């Protein structure tokens, strides 16, 4: 059984009450979109005061990103299967699962980030940077094991796997499958990483 390291997919940094607020936020975001989502609506649906919400999340952008990240936190677990291919396959399969479960939320967040700089900044800081660090960790371990050369790892490489799979997840009728992950890993990413670097 492949081993993973890092926080368990079932763990949460939030209290049960905070998790409830985040779940309500996700539901309202999916129903109404970012623009029409209000702290009043979240507080009302969760039977909480606005002060309770603002005490933990100072802005709507912070609340929405926390809800989104909590909803997909299982994808932050960094695999350590012992091989680069195994790690990449495991990451890809988790992203596919995340995409199936949260496609509508991802669409809503991606649509809104272009209009709301605070949301875009929070997405970069709280979500994308963490995933970049996770994949770079996988690549660094592969370098340390001698599977690939450090020169083969580029700044453009880390987001190829999640970027393509999330794109496929939000396109109607084209959900990625395990075969999609295999083709991407075996035909694109691994050849790129194991090529001779002059």
Binned at pLDDT 50, 70 and 90, residue 141 comes out as very high
Class of domain 74-198: mainly alpha
Q: What is the pLDDT of residue 95?
A: 85
Q: What is the pLDDT of residue 147?
A: 95
Q: What is the pLDDT of residue 24?
A: 94
Could you report the per-residue pLDDT of 58-100, keeping only the tens digit for each? Answer: 888 888 888 887 877 644 667 889 999 999 999 999 888 878 8
| CB-based burial label for 139 (10 Å; 0-12, 13-18, 19+) | buried
| C-alpha to C-alpha distance for 10 and 121, rounded to whole angstroms | 27
DSSP state letter for 134: H
Could you report the per-residue pLDDT of 11-39, keeping only the tens digit for each? Answer: 567 889 999 999 999 889 878 878 889 99
| C-alpha to C-alpha distance for 79 and 44, rounded to whole angstroms | 39
Residue with tokens 């490489």: 157
Among the ranges given (13-17, 48-52, 130-134, 168-172), the one the predictor scored with the smallest mean pLDDT:
130-134
Q: What's the whole-number mean pLDDT along residues 161-190?
A: 91
Architecture of domain 15-71: Orthogonal Bundle (1.10)
Q: Domain locations in the chain? A: 15-71, 74-198
Q: How many residues does the chain have?
A: 198
pTM, 2 dp: 0.73
126 pLDDT above the threshold of 70: no
Q: What is the pLDDT of residue 9?
A: 40
177 pLDDT above the threshold of 90: yes
Mean pLDDT estimate for the chain: 83
| C-alpha to C-alpha distance for 20 and 14, rounded to whole angstroms | 9
């Amino acid at each position: 059984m492949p081993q993973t390291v890092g926080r368990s997919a079932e763990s949460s940094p939030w209290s049960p009450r905070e998790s409830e607020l985040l779940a309500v936020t996700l539901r309202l975001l999916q129903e109404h979109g970012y623009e029409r989502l209000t702290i009043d609506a979240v507080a009302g649906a969760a039977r909480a005061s606005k002060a309770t919400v603002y005490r933990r999340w100072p802005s709507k952008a912070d609340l929405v990103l926390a809800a989104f990240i909590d909803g997909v936190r299982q994808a932050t677990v960094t695999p350590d299967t012992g091989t680069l291919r195994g790690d990449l396959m495991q990451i890809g399969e988790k992203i596919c699962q995340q995409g199936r479960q949260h496609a509508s939320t991802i669409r809503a967040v991606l649509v809104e980030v272009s209009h709301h700089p605070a949301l875009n900044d929070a997405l970069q800081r709280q979500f994308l940077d963490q995933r970049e660090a996770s994949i770079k960790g996988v690549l660094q371990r592969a370098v340390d094991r001698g599977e690939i050369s450090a020169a083969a790892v580029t700044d453009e490489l880390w987001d190829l796997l999640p970027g393509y799979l999330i794109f496929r997840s939000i396109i109607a009728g084209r959900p990625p499958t395990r075969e999609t992950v295999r083709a991407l890993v075996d035909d694109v990413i691994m050849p790129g990483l194991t090529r001779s670097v002059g």
